[in-house]
A and B are shown apart, each in its own frame.
Chain A
């Protein structure tokens, strides 16, 4: 479980996060949603330590992350897997080398064991046989799946996904969403997904945190989201004509 309390973050005079608190449970898919500039990616970066909040705390299963020194943070980060918006695959390495990279750095496994693990991860994301391809030879959806394979290579306790559906067609988006949900339930990871994709919200949103102008506006599940009377949330979720029409059926 990851718990954040009163997290605040500013860039100069612009306060991006205004005292956000939430609890993200293990084994369920936690979504952070909100419009552009609402602070969801900044919140994610504060949680993983890529940015430092001015105020508040981030706890990983009770361990206070914001107060940790470099070495302690390294130990927590070994338990984190992250899928980046642009996949962030190492472009000078093959798919197989990308997945084996964390294993090379932090385990004493033999090459055979690491290769077996890489093949298992690739099989898990339905990319068997793509070991020797370079990231430049992959489609957007395949890159995301390799990103997931690399993120799960070390059996992470915490999985972060930054806009996993951006730039993907609806069908591939659903594949990625289902993959994230399956991995979360199978390995009981604490999964946090930053998204503004409504298919994801309705499809895999076990817990949803809605941010608006840097503040927490609402939290709940995908079953509850259609029945709120918060104008900002309704404006965001049911912005399109299609979603407005669909709301009547929820």
Chain B
């Protein structure tokens, strides 16, 4: 059954990448989706990232209580954790809830109200028209949001650490600037790209094949978020294993 779903998912993706009927219309839709995915989620991601960075700093400071460990390590651990894991994964999981459910319910409602049939009858490639702009917005804006999240998480760590007295500003700044490996950014951006793909295509698939009415659309939204989150965590492990 799961292989059937995966096969249908791949066939849907194949249809998504058919040549668009009119690039101008698609470009307009892509910018609208970029605004929805990127700008519309920035506030939420900013709040979550800042607090996670602050909490991480406090927890690292709590756990590394030893005279043999310099306090600068708090900054570097927070930096690497934020860049490699927390910013990409937390951002993706939050977006899977916010964007994924919206995509699934939007497309699902269009399916049950015959709007997708109407597109098909007009001669429009409905998977391309409905999903491609969301996919492009996802794979471009999720990395942007992840970069914002990295800065805010490290900044949140600075605020949390210095305001609580767990680490001095100088020690924290020394920590985040020492032994920085730019490759970690590459790994994070690869993850963000993969997560952007999952966050948009999995919910789109769930919505596209909905049958029934309002209840089934709601169930598809829930399933979309659950499957997206599990896929994100599985891909997180695979990408980390491959790249580190």
User: Which chain A residues have a beta carbon within 8 Å of chain B's beta carbons?
Assistant: 48-50, 70, 73-78, 80, 82, 84-86, 88-91, 101-102, 104-106, 154, 160
Q: How far is the CB of B24 from chain A (nearest CB, A)?
A: 9
Say how far B232's CB is from chain A's closest CB, in angstroms: 28
B122 contacts A77, C-beta separation under 8 Å: yes
Q: Is B114 an interface residue (CB 8 A)?
A: yes
**Per-residue 0/1 for B42-62: is the Cβ within 8 Å of any A Cβ (1 yes, 0 no)?**
000000000000000000000
Inter-chain contacts of B18 with A (CB < 8 A): 70
Contact among A76, A77, A84, A160 with B114 in the assembled complex (CB-CB below 8 Å): A84
Asked if B121 lies at the interface with its beta carbon under 8 angstroms from chain A, I say: yes
Q: Say yes or no for B115: interface residue by CB 8 A criterion.
A: yes
Instruction: Report which residue of B115, B117, B122, B125 has the largest number of chain A beta carbons within 10 angstroms of its beta carbon.
Output: B122
Question: Given A104-B22, A104-B25, A105-B21 in contact, is the A86-B123 Cβ separation under 8 Å?
Answer: no
- Asked whether, in the complex, the Cβ of B118 is within 8 Å of the Cβ of A82, the reply is yes
B22:A102 contact, CB within 8 angstroms: no
Interface centre among A73, A77, A88, A154 (most CB of B within 10 A): A88
Q: Which residue of A lies closest to B21 (CB)?
A: A105
Residues of A within 8 A of B13 (CB): none
On whether the beta carbons of A84 and B117 are closer than 8 Å, the reply is: yes
Whether A88 and B123, one on each chain, are in contact in the complex, defined by CB atoms closer than 8 angstroms, is no
How far, in whole Å, are A90 and B122 apart by their CA atoms in the complex? 13
Does chain A have a CB within 8 A of B113?
A: yes
Asked whether any CB of chain A lies closer than 8 Å to the CB of B218, the reply is no
Chain B residues near A91 (CB-CB < 8 A) = 113, 115
Report, as a range, how many residues of chain B touch the other chain. Answer: 10 to 19
Chain B residues within an 8 Å CB radius of A73: 123
- A85 adjacent to B123 (CB under 8 Å): no
* B118→A88 contact, CB < 8 A: yes
* B 147-183 binary contact with A (CB < 8 Å = 1; else 0): 0000000000000000000000000000000000000
**B109: nearest residue on chain A (CB-CB)?**
A91
Among candidates A50, A89, A106, residue contacting B121 with C-beta atoms closer than 8 Å: A50
B187 within 8 A of A: no
**Set of chain B residues within 8 Å of A154, measured between Cβ atoms:** 122
Q: Are B123 and A106 in contact (CB under 8 A)?
A: yes
B residues contacting A by CB (< 8 A) are 18, 21-22, 25, 113-115, 117-118, 120-125
19 residue pairs A–B, Cβ–Cβ below 8 Å: A48-B121, A49-B120, A76-B123, A77-B121, A78-B122, A80-B123, A82-B118, A84-B114, A86-B113, A88-B113, A88-B114, A88-B118, A89-B115, A105-B21, A105-B25, A105-B122, A105-B124, A106-B21, A106-B22
Give A119 Cβ to nearest chain B Cβ, in Å.
Answer: 20
Contacts of A80 in B (CB 8 A): 121-123
Residue of B nearest to A92 (CB): B106
State how many angstroms separate the Cβ of A91 from the closest Cβ of chain B. Answer: 7
What 3 pairs across the A-B complex have the smallest Cβ distances?
A77-B123, A88-B114, A88-B118
CA distance A77 to B118 in the complex (A): 11
Kindly provide the distance from the CB of B20 to the nearest chain A CB, expressed in whole angstroms: 10
| Minimum Cβ distance to chain B for residue A75 (Å) | 7
| Contact (Cβ within 8 A) A78 B25 | no
Measured CA separation A148–B131 after assembly (Å): 27
Which B residue sits closest to A82, measured CB to CB? B121
The residues of B that contact A85 with a CB separation of less than 8 Å are 114
Give complex CA distance A150, B124 in Å: 14
**Which has the most chain A C-beta neighbours within 10 Å: B18, B114, B115, B123?**
B123
Q: Hey, which chain A residues are within 8 Å of B117, CB to CB?
A: 50, 84, 88
